[in-house]
Amino acid sequence: MGKEDRILASIRNDFLRVEFTRDVAPGLEHLYRVSNQIVKDDFDLPEEMSKAWTYPAIQNKVNYNIGMRPAIAHQLLSFCGAAVGKVITQGEDRGIADILLVDSQFQPLRVTDESLKAIMPNLRKQD
């Protein structure tokens, strides 16, 4: 990608971030018409062209969400469990507290190093 293409992509991404993360008061949902049209025109592509897309997260605008059609998600992904935790900071130390683990049947798991490794095999402890 050349310099001009990178600039154009950056401008487009900035516009989409603002457009898709703007807060709209209740009763003014019609203001999402532009966003909806962009999705239909640019992101509703045939499966051969695109299996998934990313879009800016509303809650935390520096993060992204991934969207895909349910049939494609079932085909490409398998849910083996999840971990939900809260990041805490004490002084210069950062860690995760209040971890909830569930297996693929959404049954709670006891938090152990083994249960974390089973659900998140790429998880690494920081010393």
pTM of the model: 0.47
Report in angstroms the alpha-carbon separations of 6 from 13, 49, 67, 125. Answer: 10, 21, 24, 36
* Alpha helices, DSSP H, located in 1-127: 3-21, 33-38, 70-76, 113-119
14: its two tokens: 């900035």
Please give the chain's pLDDT, 127 residues, in tens: 799 999 998 998 888 888 877 777 888 878 778 877 887 777 777 778 888 888 777 777 778 888 888 888 888 888 777 777 777 777 777 666 666 667 677 677 666 667 666 766 766 554 4
Residue 116 confidence (pLDDT): 65
1: its two tokens: 């990608």
Eight-state DSSP code of residue 41: I
Residue 123 confidence (pLDDT): 60
Q: How many CB atoms lie within 10 A of CB 101?
A: 20
Residues in Cβ contact with 83 at an 8 Å cutoff, skipping those fewer than 6 apart? 99, 100, 101, 116, 119, 120
Domain range summary for the chain, segments of one domain joined by +: 3-76, 81-119
Q: Is 82 left (phi over 0), alpha (psi -120 to 50) or beta?
A: beta
